[in-house]
Structure 1
Amino acid sequence: MSSNTELIRSMTLYGGFPIFICGTIGNLLNIRCLWRNRHNPCVFIILSASIINCIVLFYGLFTRILSVGFNLDWSSTNLIWCKTRVALSQAGYFMSLTCVCLASIDRFLISCRQEKYRNLSRLSFARWAVFVTIIFWLIHSLPELIYGTIIKNPYTGLTFCSVISPPAHMNYRLYISLPVYLGLLPSIILIITGLMTYRNTNKLQITRQREIIQKQLTKMMLIQIPIIVCSTLPYVIFTEYTVFSATIIKTSNQRTIENIITNIFTLLFYMSFACSFFVFFISSNSFRQEAKLFFLCHRTNLFRNIQIQPHPLPTIRDTTL
């Protein structure tokens, strides 16, 4: 059993730390590289998602690394931290996926031939959509903030943070919130809008327009969809299986295998919040040029700072009369 625990700990450390570090730096680079274009509706939504992703990676993944990897679980001793971690991490999951769906819908609207649909892609609409998204999911996570509590295991004596809510809310989380809002709905929206965007770009008559939209936007869409689907659905499906099979008597080997699989799918789940920068860098030429320009400017400034400045020549005074 100790070897299995050590395996899970090693997986969390060596798998979780790279995801957290690369994801946090990548989201910050998204903000830096896209900031000048923040008045574009789609870019504004992506910037909002990048900020939310940083919060998700901290409250969700980083605290998990501390808990599993270093046995530093503040949520098991501090009630306020327990409540805020559960509520903000869950709200962050939904906010981030909703922003990705909004950006996908915006790309579909801007690719339509009808002007009435293209006019819906406005910065004012994007701001209101992001604002409503944040407020809605914060309100949606209020029960976790209210019912989050610290529980003591009667067999081991260890304490842990959990949500003990009324049966109606527990059923809602089990049958609607987790499988629909986190799994099926974002995947369906991304797949449908991606296919419709691809269809619209193929109908464009101007070759230059087709090249710009299809290469810069559709590639980002097609790469994002499998990443989100493949990282989110396994986590949702296996979590549902774990909950439904909790009353079944299992051997210690079965529980160990399930714990390992849960850890793998949990780390994979956070990939969808950490990979956006790398998706944009690979699929978008303009974003890649902006990122390269950012790195080159910093490297140039660094070289300028470490250059050896020539000593000024001594001033020779003219002593002749």
Structure 2
Amino acid sequence: MSSSTIATLSIAGQQIVICGGIFLFITGVVGGPLMLITLLSLRTFRENSCAFYLIIMSIVNILNLFIALLTFIMTTGFGINWLNMSRSFCKFRPFYLQFGNIMSFTCICLATIDQFFATCSNHRWHQWNQIKIAKRLILGAILFYLLHGIPFLLYYDLNISSTTGNSICGFTNVIFQTYYNVFHFPVLITSLPVFIILLFGFLAYRNLQHISHRTIPLVRRELDKQLTTMILAEALSEVIFVTPTCILNLVNYLIGNSSDPFTVALISFFRNLTGIFYYIHFVSPFYIYFCASKRFRQQLIYVLFKVHYNRWRHQRVVDVANIDI
């Protein structure tokens, strides 16, 4: 294969990361805070266990934009690798990346399971839909993933390249690298979450078909319908955005380390493309909920204009009155 084709693939992959990454970063910076404002401003959401998982997920996703996505754009798109410039950042980013990825997927998995319990006809399962239980599960997950990330601090470091003599951030332990390549990324933060979300999303959808016939308060019924619709829409998006990364990792594992320049360039191109698709997971929840739920759109408008804008306008009038006095 000609060198021009390989160069074209490299440039195309780079442009995909630059254009797609910057677009995702901007939309995420806008959508993430709007999601948080909506969920935190309404008591209905603050006291709901499923919404609590979505609140934590939104916070983690915003952090992922700055620590994970921004670094990905700078390294792959512009060739500015901050990891190779600082030993501290070389250790911190992989440590946070494993925490942020797993925590975000854990939250959406717990939210999906929570909605399955909430829509069950057997009231015995409803005891799991409590904000206290949700807080304990999230606290336990945070502590567990922080401990799980310790090997990333130990086995990620700057290595001196034998060919260029430059410092390169990477694994320093072969066994841990194998664990990461074989289980951590392809299973723990891609395949397994997608499977859980699809399974409990399907079960929640099946329960939702019969929820109108149950004798439960109207407000609770409408909230369950809204949250289940939002979760199901995101479950579908997980399949679309995360599955390509799962497939690429499987293909890359089967092929192994190829010495063919074209194969290397092709895999690198698809890695950049699927990487952008993967990061959509951290950006899309607000826009998915906005499109999927009419009630969420109404709540967003109410929060922005009826609550916060009126509060700001009232405060401004008070401030002006105080100045006049």
> TM-score interval w.r.t. the shorter chain?
0.7 to 0.9
Contact 2:112 2:197 in 1 (8 A): yes
Report the CA distance shift for 1:176/1:69 in structure 2 as closer, same or farther (over 3 A).
closer
User: Is it true that 1:12 corresponds to 2:20 in the alignment?
Assistant: no
User: Is it true that 1:106 corresponds to 2:114 in the alignment?
Assistant: yes
1:258 maps to: 267
Q: SS of 1:119's equivalent?
A: helix
2:31 maps to: 26
Structure 1 unaligned regions, length at least 5:
310-321
Deviation at 1:85, TM superposition (A): 0.4
Q: How does 1:196-211 map to 2 (within 5 A)?
A: 196-204=203-211, 205-206=213-214
Deviation at 1:155, TM superposition (A): 2.9
Q: 1:281 aligns with which of 276, 290, 308?
A: 290
**Equivalent AA in structure 2 for residue 10 of structure 1:** Q
Structure 2 unaligned regions, length at least 5:
1-5, 321-325
- TM-score scaled to structure 2, two decimals? 0.85
* Counterpart-to-counterpart distance in 1, 2:296 and 2:168: 43
1:183 maps to: 190
1:296 maps to: 305
**Equivalent AA in structure 1 for residue 64 of structure 2:** V
Q: How does 1:119-268 map to 2 (within 5 A)?
A: 119-167=127-175, 169-204=176-211, 205-206=213-214, 212=222, 215-250=225-260, 252-268=261-277
Contact 2:32 2:58 in 1 (8 A): yes
2:323 maps to: none
Report the CA distance shift for 1:38/1:210 in structure 2 as closer, same or farther (over 3 A).
closer
Q: SS of 2:162's equivalent?
A: coil
Contact 1:148 1:161 in 2 (8 A): yes
* Counterpart-to-counterpart distance in 2, 1:158 and 1:261: 27
Report the CA distance shift for 1:210/1:74 in structure 2 as closer, same or farther (over 3 A).
closer
* Counterpart-to-counterpart distance in 2, 1:106 and 1:282: 22
Report the CA distance shift for 1:200/1:213 in structure 2 as closer, same or farther (over 3 A).
farther
Q: Calculate percent identity across the aligned residue pairs.
A: 27
Contact 1:201 1:210 in 2 (8 A): no
Deviation at 1:50, TM superposition (A): 0.5
Q: 1:55 aligns with which of 63, 66, 70?
A: 63
Question: Which structure has the larger Rg over C-alpha atoms?
Answer: 1
Q: Which has the higher helix share?
A: 2
**Equivalent AA in structure 2 for residue 191 of structure 1:** L
1:194-247 Cα offsets, whole Å, 9 max, x none, are: 111122122231596897267513321321112112222221331343345343
Q: SS of 2:170's equivalent?
A: strand
* Counterpart-to-counterpart distance in 2, 1:185 and 1:179: 8
1:146-166 Cα offsets, whole Å, 9 max, x none, are: 111112333344433112224
1:225-277 Cα offsets, whole Å, 9 max, x none, are: 12112222221331343345343331x22222211111000010001111000
- TM-score scaled to structure 1, two decimals? 0.86
Contact 2:205 2:232 in 1 (8 A): no
**Equivalent AA in structure 2 for residue 247 of structure 1:** N
Q: Comparing both chains, which one has the higher relative contact order based on Cα–Cα distances under 8 Å and sequence gaps of 6 or more? A: 2
Q: 1:272 aligns with which of 278, 281, 288?
A: 281
Q: How does 1:70-81 map to 2 (within 5 A)?
A: 70-81=78-89
- Using the TM superposition, name which of 202-211 and 268-277 deviates more: 202-211
* Counterpart-to-counterpart distance in 2, 1:104 and 1:116: 18
What is the alpha-carbon root mean square deviation over aligned residues?
A: 2.7
User: Is it true that 1:82 corresponds to 2:90 in the alignment?
Assistant: yes
* Counterpart-to-counterpart distance in 2, 1:201 and 1:247: 47
Report the CA distance shift for 1:164/1:274 in structure 2 as closer, same or farther (over 3 A).
same
